Structure 1
Amino acid sequence: MKFLLITLITHTDPGTSTQARFREVVDNAVLGEELGFDGYGVGERHERPFISSSPPVVLSHIAARTTRIRLFTAVTTLSLLDPVRAYEDYATLDNLSGGRLELIIGKGNGAAQAKLFHVTADDQWDRNRESYELFRRLWREPKVTWAGRFRPPLEDAETWPRPLQQPIRVWHGSATSQVSVDLAARYGDPLFSANVTNPIEPYAELIRYYRERWQHYGHDPADALVGAGSAGYYAAKTSQEAIDTYRPIFDARIATFRRLGLEPVFTTLEDAIDRSSILVGSPQQIAEKVLRYHAEFGHEIMHLHADGDGLTDKQHRTTLELFQSEIAPVLRREIPSRPLGESS
């Protein structure tokens, strides 16, 4: 199994400046590489409380501070973006990073960002599909002639710079919709399940649907590739120590959700540990839980939250070190995985 750290770059602490918050994000990526994580992902959101509106800029800075770790977007909201401009940004980043880029694409969510970019519920999925289909061609072809619904047509268009990776691997982020799942299966692309907000069942159902559509489109079942998220992480030597440390962090998160008008599915830490993908407990408990999820998903890659979320710097580093020393070796041994950076 492979492991990513992912941040959506929430910014809710009035005592931390925007500059300092970005510095935390970059420093966490450097820490992730130091500790042996396989990838680091930056989300894309265009509304409060997030400041992740420009992933290629943040990832370019991370690329300059690191040498090995794969750089992910989580997700690139192609439904909101001009695919030509997105291609230019990410082809540039691919070169600057030495070919370490992997995209997770999706339509994005949130009413504010849809309003900002004049995207509607009626056209968001069509925009996502059309943008991806053009982006895919731009990455592979030196000249593109194309016409669509949502941007001006192209006639023998050349786009520069040309990317380093030919082609890049693009994952499709999925939370609730079969539309994104079908798009991934159609093009033979990997799927990354959000697996954060709800119990396991709806995510497992979407992954099963992905594998069904994968075969429907004529792909070898053995080639299907799945990743999955987690709703939070904190490991300690004993489960009680982990719960005691993480409880105020979880309670603060619930309070933030409610302040933003969002009612959480899991209102207590015990319920979240029991029914959600949150990973809080001893190393053995966390490894066993990931293996149970793997039995449903068949995933080869998973993410942990990159941010400390209220932990001290020492606690954050210590729990990530514990993951790499006692949890990751078990999961890498039990769950074989293909290398990152391979594309269809």
Structure 2
Amino acid sequence: MKFLLITLIAEKNAERPAHERFREVVDNALLAEELGFDGFGVGERHERPFFSSSPPVVLSHIAALTSRIRLFTAVTTLSLLDPVRAFEDYSTLDNLSGGRLELIIGKGNGAAQAKLFHVTADDQWDRNRESYELFRRLWREPKVTWEGRFRPPLDEAEAWPRPLQQPIRVWHGSATSRESVDLAARFGDPLFSANVTNPIEPYAELIRYYRERWAHYGHDPAEALVGAGSAGFYAAPTSQEAIETYRPIYEARIALFRRVGVEPVFPTLEDAVERSSILVGSPQQIIDKVHRYHAEFGHEAMHLQADADLLTDKQHRASLELFQSDIAPTLRRDLPSRPFPTPLLPTRPTVTAPPHDDGVAAGLPAGGAFTERPAP
């Protein structure tokens, strides 16, 4: 099993400066690499309360400060983007990261961002499919002649820079719709199930459908690759401690849902622990739950929430450390997965910035993870 930390860079405090939230994201990415996670992902949203409108910029900054961890998008909303511009951004990031980029694509959701980009419910899936078909060709072919519905045609077009990974692995994010599942199976691409909002059954059904369509399109069933999300995470030495610490966090989430008129699927933390993908408990409880989900999904990768949410920094770090020391080794042993690609360029040693004003004199933000960086 491979493990990712993922953030949508949500910010509930409208008064908080964006740069402080971005600093948290970068610090969490560095923590993920330090603790041995396999990947770090940044979502894409174009509406409040999210600061994740530009994943390639955020991930490029993280790429400059890390050397090993895979860099995921979660997801790249191709239904909203010009695929040529998206290719240019992500090919650039692929080069800057030494070939560590992993894309998860999807149509995205949210009425505000659809309105911002003039996308409708009637055309969003067609836009997603068409954009991916062109993006895929641009990544693989030095010159592309193409015509579609939603952007001007191309005639022997060259898009630069050429990517480092050839080809890149593209996962398809799936929440509730069969369209993304079928698109993934058609092209022989892996599937990443959201697995956040509902009980296990609808997600398991979509994954079974993915495997059916995979075989329908003539692919080897043994080559199908699945990842899955989780709805929250907090590990503690005992289940009692985990529940006691996480309860106010979960209750705050439920209160927020109800304020915006959304009735929660799991109204109590106990219900969520029992029926949802949330991972709250002792190490053995979390191991058992991941095994239970794996029996339905057959997944080889899963994500945890990267953000501390309402946990203190100390609680957040301790929980992730406990995951890596007491949970991940058992899951890696019991549920082996195919390896992620290794960086195509050599990793770089990490050096400490000169001790002048904690980096401020060098034009760097003071304190935190910004005081250490890879050598140029």
Instruction: Give TM-score, length-normalised by structure 2.
Output: 0.90
Which deviations, in whole Å up to 9, do the C-alpha atoms of 1:87-117 show, x marking residues without a partner? 0000000000000000000000011111110
Sequence identity percentage: 84
* 2:132 maps to 1:132: yes
Deviations 1:131-159 (A, max 9, x none): 00000000000000000000000000000
Q: Which residue of 2 is the match for residue 36 of structure 1?
A: 36
Aligned to 1:247: 247
Alignment root-mean-square deviation, CA = 0.9
Q: Which amino acid aligns with 1:143?
A: K
- Aligned pairs (5 A) from 1:318-337: 318-337=318-337
SS in 1 for 2:302: strand
Contact 1:145 1:155 in 2 (8 A): yes
Instruction: Report 1:278-289 matches (<5 A).
Output: 278-289=278-289
Separation in 2, partners of 1:76, 1:259: 29
Q: Which has the higher mean CA deviation after the structures are superposed, 75-84 or 246-255?
A: 246-255
Aligned to 1:117: 117
Hey, what's the Cα distance between the residues in 1 that align with 2:192 and 2:89? Answer: 22
- Name 1:177's counterpart in structure 2: 177
Cα distance in 2 between the residues matched to 1:66 and 1:28: 12
Partner of 1:53, secondary structure, is coil
Question: What's the CA shift for 1:264?
Answer: 1.7
**Runs (4+) off by over 4 Å:** none
Q: What is the Cα deviation at residue 257 of structure 1?
A: 2.1
1:214 aligns with 2:214: yes
Unaligned 5+ runs, structure 2 = 343-376
Mapped pair 1:157 → 2:163: no
What is the CA–CA distance in structure 2 between the aligned matches of 1:102 and 1:261, rounded to whole Å?
Answer: 35
1:26 and 1:260 map into 2 onto residues whose CA distance is 29
1:238-317 aligned at under 5 Å gives the runs: 238-317=238-317
Query: Structure 1 stretch 249-258 or stretch 189-198: which is displaced more?
Result: 249-258
The answer on whether the counterparts of 1:176 and 1:206 sit within 8 Å (CA) in structure 2 is yes
CA distance in 2, matches of 1:240, 1:278: 16
How far apart are the structure 2 equivalents of 1:21 and 1:271? 31
User: Following TM superposition, by how much is the alpha carbon of 1:259 offset from its aligned partner in structure 2, in angstroms?
Assistant: 2.6
Q: Distance in 2 between matches of 1:189 and 1:17?
A: 38
SS in 2 for 1:90: helix
- Paired with 2:228 and 2:169, the residues of 1 have a C-alpha distance of 16
SS in 1 for 2:240: helix
Give yes or no for contact 1:169–1:341 (8 Å, CA) kept in 2: no
Equivalent position SS for 1:4: strand
Give secondary structure in 1 for the equivalent of 2:311: coil
Query: In structure 1, what is the equivalent of residue 53 of structure 2?
Result: 53
Shift in Å at residue 37 of structure 1? 0.1
Aligned to 1:79: 79
Partner of 1:24: 24
Structure 1 stretches of 5 or more lacking a match? Answer: none
Q: C-alpha displacement at 1:256, in angstroms? A: 2.0
Displacement of 1:263: 2.3
Cα distance in 1 for residues equivalent to 2:334 and 2:151: 47
Aligned-partner Cα distance in 2 for 1:139–1:14 = 38
Displacement of 1:15? 5.6
Cα distance in structure 1, aligned partners of 2:7 and 2:193:
15
Deviation at 1:17, TM superposition (A): 2.0
